[in-house]
């Protein structure tokens, strides 16, 4: 099963090191394939360098694609993390 969802980066500094690290930690034991697409670039969301290379700023819209085992649970965790700004204070 392949799930696709759009999220908005709410962090004032965009997808910088702290949220990128949180994403990679969240996905480290996930067996699904997870990709982010932004401005035509699609990257492996399990790679911190790839996430940082997206250079997604605040209010950027990112498309998340999750395919494989536990796809629904993985998507829910990612969408919740983006909505909660990765627990960063504004």
Give the number of domains in the chain: 1
pLDDT digits (tens, 9 = 90+) for 22-77: 999 999 999 999 999 999 999 999 999 999 999 999 999 999 999 999 999 999 99
- CA dist., res. 51 & res. 56, Å (int): 8
Are the CB atoms for 45 and 62 separated by under 8 Å?
Answer: no
What is the pLDDT at residue 42?
98
Residue 55 belongs to a domain with what CATH number? 3.30.1340.10
The number of residues in the chain equals 90
Active site residues: 16
Phi, psi of 6 (to 5 degrees): -105, 135
The model carries a pTM of: 0.95
Nearest alpha-carbon partner for 64 in 76, 53, 55: 76
- CA dist., res. 38 & res. 54, Å (int): 7
Full residue range of the structural domain in which residue 52 is found: 2-87
């Amino acid at each position: 099963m392949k799930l696709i969802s759009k999220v908005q980066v709410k962090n004032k500094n965009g997808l910088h090191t702290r949220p990128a690290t949180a994403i990679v930690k969240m996905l480290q034991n996930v067996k699904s394939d997870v990709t982010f697409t932004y401005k035509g670039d699609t990257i492996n969301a399990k790679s911190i360098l790839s996430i940082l290379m997206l250079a997604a700023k605040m209010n950027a819209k990112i498309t998340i694609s999750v395919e494989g085992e536990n796809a629904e649970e993985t998507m829910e965790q990612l969408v919740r993390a983006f909505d909660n700004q990765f627990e960063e204070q504004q």
